[in-house]
Amino acid sequence: MKNNIPNRVVNQMFENDDFSKWLGIEVAEVKEGSCELKLTVREEMTNGFKIAHGGITYSLADSALAFASNSHGRKSVSVETSISHTKQCLIGDVITAKAVEKSMTNKIAIYEIIITNQQEEIVALFKGTVYRTSKDWF
Amino acid sequence: MKNNIPNRVVNQMFENDDFSKWLGIEVAEVKEGSCELKLTVREEMTNGFKIAHGGITYSLADSALAFASNSHGRKSVSVETSISHTKQCLIGDVITAKAVEKSMTNKIAIYEIIITNQQEEIVALFKGTVYRTSKDWF
Amino acid sequence: MKNNIPNRVVNQMFENDDFSKWLGIEVAEVKEGSCELKLTVREEMTNGFKIAHGGITYSLADSALAFASNSHGRKSVSVETSISHTKQCLIGDVITAKAVEKSMTNKIAIYEIIITNQQEEIVALFKGTVYRTSKDWF
Amino acid sequence: MKNNIPNRVVNQMFENDDFSKWLGIEVAEVKEGSCELKLTVREEMTNGFKIAHGGITYSLADSALAFASNSHGRKSVSVETSISHTKQCLIGDVITAKAVEKSMTNKIAIYEIIITNQQEEIVALFKGTVYRTSKDWF
């Protein structure tokens, strides 16, 4: 069923994904062109100031980009990403990345990913551009 | 001694930095406005395709940005970062991030960080902009 | 009156702005933290393919960034901007840039600017980061 | 002759390019994967502060991106661009954009473009990513 493609793709990408497991990423939702992922900040994710390293928020958003862009069933690879860290994340904070498709052509798609904490405050803004290959997942 | 400021700042930032320890980051060199960091890709840093998650390369470069920009002795915070992943990194690859200062004014500085593998092939290109606060480290 | 600050700032910035006049920019709306600007693509704005040069869309969005970020009454300067051109603009097209504030702290603010044509199709996506100085406009 | 491809492509792109003519862009050099363009800032290119509008520097760099990326003879289109304006440009300043290829794969290439004034001071830093189509120029 066509409707199952987003979930089948994400399940296959997530399987054996050791770093996402280490991060404790949970997939809250996946649809065609969008997804929502969560993780909880642990002490081993923090820098010397005991706030989450910028790489943690980036990693969550980058996974959201990969899942949202591949959810159409076409293999897609990241071309350019940018992130602005707007608020600190502390140990115990639950951060959520919501990916939304802003533009899609045959070859290129662009996603905005907003990362919020459990108070729904924005902690980071991410933009990602992918190249859509001509290979299908299934 | 003024000459020691870059090393003193980085030592203090690195101390208790749990995520950098988990990543196995080694500081190869720090000077005023520049630095060079390395890590070795481990299995737990890879995604479902057994290549390094984009967040690993980003994390290394983001640490290089923090160290290079704070090395002048003024507390500096990341404002905007972007990264393009140009080549896959495999388990066992040693990746090096070299940060170079491209522009610095009283309040804003911009760094280019080139990330290479052990064959000196570019694996990612990173650009980072920081806000230079008016607080000194020492 | 505080409510007049956005318009007073934009009037003052727009006055004597020769390039905006050449572009034929019209200010459709300015509020605290947001604004909407328009222009019509003319032949002299096109490249060899008779589509608007990427610099035209960028210029419109960059003016929207300047107006939206200064609208609070604090002098603000652009630090980093990025744009993705997603659809061609032809001679006669009316393009609109809407700037929305995504994040603001004491020193840094981030704006998303969506540029659309007269069919409300997205032609470009722009992100801008500004440094907020400590100087007021009035 | 293969060696002539960069110049033939740029001549063809430049022909009938009305906006580049308005800007007064001069092509100083074009090679495979690189190019150098110049313009002189005129009063009609300035904003209300009598400094060059950010769109002028962007336009020069965006043209350099187009020429450098198409110089291999494959039609290439801009996917994502970013620019940081680091120093003001005044009326009469001669600004030069030098494009250098940082990475190229079959489908994607990345260019760094440094924009300097006549004192060789950096006035802007630009990064551009293009999609390389499968169509040749000749």
Query: Is B119 in contact with B131 (CB distance < 8 Å)?
Result: no
d(CA C82, CA C84): 7
What the block records as the tokens of B100 is: 């170079």
Mutate to test the interface with C, among B69, B75, B79, B105 (most CBs of C within 10 A): B79
Q: Which residue has the tokens 């497991």?
A: A21
ipTM surpasses cut 0.85: yes
User: How confident is residue D75, by pLDDT bands cut at 50, 70 and 90?
Assistant: very high
Other Cβ atoms closer than 10 A to C9: 25
Whether pTM > 0.80 for this model: the answer is yes
Residues of A in contact with B15 (CB under 8 A): 48
* Cβ burial A63-87 (10 Å sphere, 16+ → b, else e): bbbbbbbbbbbbbbbbbbbbbbbbb
Mean pLDDT of chain C: 95
One-letter amino acid identity for B71?
Answer: S
Return the exposure string of D101-137: e unless at least 16 CB atoms fall within 10 Å of the residue's CB, then b: bbbbeebbbbbbbbbbbeeeeebbbbbbbbbbeeeee
- Following DSSP, what letter does each residue of chain C receive, concatenated? -GGGHHHHHHHHHHTT-HHHHHHT-EEEEEETTEEEEEEE--GGGB-TTSBB-HHHHHHHHHHHHHHHHHTTSEEEEEEEEEEEE-S--BTT-EEEEEEEEEEE-SSEEEEEEEEE-TT--EEEEEEEEEEEEEEE--
Contact pairs from chain B to chain D, CB under 8 Å: 29
- Residue D110, domain extent: 2-136
Of A14, A45, A54, the CB nearest to B62: A54
Task: State pLDDT tens for residues C87-110.
Answer: 999 999 999 999 999 999 999 999
Which residues of chain C neighbour B107 with C-beta distances below 8 Å? 131
pLDDT digits (tens, 9 = 90+) for B52-71: 999 999 999 999 999 999 99
Q: Is the Cβ pair B108, C131 closer than 8 Å?
A: yes
- Give bridge partners of residue D114 from the DSSP assignment: D98, D125
Report residue C28 as tokens: 């459709």
Total structural domains in chain A? 1
- CATH number of the domain encompassing residue A16: 3.10.129.10
Model confidence over D7-54: pLDDT tens digits? 999 999 988 899 999 999 999 999 999 999 999 999 999 998 899 999
